[in-house]
Copies of this chain bind each other. A is one copy, B any other.
Amino acid sequence: MKIAIIGTGFAGRTLAAGMAERGHEVVMGTRDVAQTSVRTESDRMGNIGFAPWALGQPTVRLTTFAEAAVGVDVVVNATAGHASIAALTEVGAINLAGKVLWDLANPLDFAHGFPPALFVKDTDSLAEQIQCAFPDTKVVKALNTMIGDLFVNPKIVAEGDHSVFVSGDDPDAKSVVTDLLTSVGWTDIIDLGALGSARATEMLVQIRLRMMSVLGTPIFNFKIAR
């Protein structure tokens, strides 16, 4: 499968590497290829620069937002939530049309410090805002409820015995994402319903931030015990 990942931060890289390792053709989109490709300094979270990371990923191609989605099957939004619609606008509605748009982002608002608030909550979601902005795409929300380390390696926590939620209005698009999740080891994939259910998973970011403080690590996940 051809997968475009929009955004070159930790979340996007982790998914890019995992999908490339499983034989998918992965391209990453960034605003400024020249700048991103030579970035050597680590970010505030301690993640290495894009350039040294990319050395270990020879099959992952870096290109512009505008070029990334051309000819792919799945587009992944791995940008920061506040910047997602602007970035996807650069990717281009015409390049997104008809495609699965897998949204990983959360609507974090750091305007008032840490912990961040959410700029949309229970009456709307970032996923729905993206669907509204790009009505010809098929938006699916998934993997926004955990740290990137777990995306393609669920077994690093509790032998993989925890949950991932999938929200979306298009059943076929949800199947594409569900199949990709299954291929990387997810076993408890919960179809939460229509895209509006992303409101509920985006709001989980608040308890995640609190749990990070309690546990001293972001390496944990939610499980629905039943």
Contact = CB atoms under 8 A, between A and B. Distances in A.
Interface string A176-215: 0000000000000011110001011101101101110111
B193 A225 contact: no
Q: Is the interface of A mostly helix, strand, loop or mixed?
A: mixed
Interface residues of A, number: 37
Contact of A118 (B122, B157, B197, B207): B122
A39 interface: no
Contacts of A118: 121-122
A224 B207 CA distance: 10
Contacts of A217: 226
Interface of A: 117-118, 121-123, 157-158, 161-162, 165, 190-193, 197, 199-201, 203-204, 206-207, 209-211, 213-215, 217, 219-226
